[in-house]
Amino acid sequence: MDNPGNRARINNTTFDLYYVPKLANPKYYVTYDPALVHDWENEKSYASLTITFGRMLGKAFGGDSQVYIKPQVLGGKDRPIDFTVQVGYKVIGF
């Protein structure tokens, strides 16, 4: 397939693992998400680790509401950024 116009050529492979331990209090959750990313177009690679800490709040808008904080750190000389932090509210299962 040709590259139409001025679109960037993107060809990435991501090896992504995901671990969700069972906590004593089911209202709380933690997820561990390590990943390795390789950009085939630019021959660059980096690693990341994202850990999500969340709490179930209860019913809202016909679903289950949650709040969470999700810090992420990236490593490797080709990493695009050093770190990020997300803070959020979401409703699932509606």
At 13-43, the pLDDT tens digits run: 999 999 999 999 999 999 999 999 999 999 9
4 found inside a domain: no
pTM equals 0.80
Q: Of 40, 45, 43, 51, give the one whose Cα is nearest residue 17.
A: 51
pLDDT at 72 over 80: yes
Q: Give the H or E element holding residue 12.
A: strand 12-16
> Considering the domain boundaries, does residue 76 fall inside one?
yes
Q: Report yes or no on 41 lying in a domain.
A: yes
Supply the range of the domain harboring residue 36.
Answer: 12-92
Q: Is the pLDDT of residue 4 over 70?
A: no
The residue-averaged pLDDT of 46-53 equals 98
pLDDT at 2: 60
In a domain, 2, yes or no: no
How many domains, the chain?
1
